[in-house]
Amino acid sequence: MYYVYILQSESKGKLYIGFTADLEKRFYQHNSKYSLSAKARAPWRLIYYEAYLAKTTAQDRERKLKQYGQSWRRLKERLVLAE
């Protein structure tokens, strides 16, 4: 299983979009400041994830969300994010 996930920084309110094959381990890495790209905004909370069987499908979804196009706007509307 592969996951696309969204974390929200508890300290700054900023969002992080990621992709992983092990969601629990990756979430731990973010909060233990192992992840260089996310350590400055820790602690994090998991606010959303999607599961995929194919790695390429999950990677494509992550890429679409990170480009902040229509996919991201639709998801934000569903989640009612407080940024």
What is the Cα–Cα distance from 64 to 67, expressed in whole angstroms? 5
Domain boundaries, the chain: 2-79
Helix or strand run (H / E) with residue 72: helix 70-79
Quick check: 82 pLDDT over 60?
Answer: no
- Looking at per-residue confidence, does 33 or 69 come out higher? 69
What is the Cα–Cα distance from 53 to 60, expressed in whole angstroms? 13
What CATH code is assigned to 2-79?
Answer: 3.40.1440.10
State the pLDDT at residue 21. Answer: 97
What would the mean pLDDT of 24-35 be, rounded to a whole number? Answer: 85
pTM for this predicted structure:
0.84
State the pLDDT at residue 25. Answer: 93
Let me know how many helices (H) and strands (E) the chain has, helices first: 3, 3
What would the mean pLDDT of 20-38 be, rounded to a whole number? Answer: 85
Cis ω before 43 (30° cut-off from 0): yes
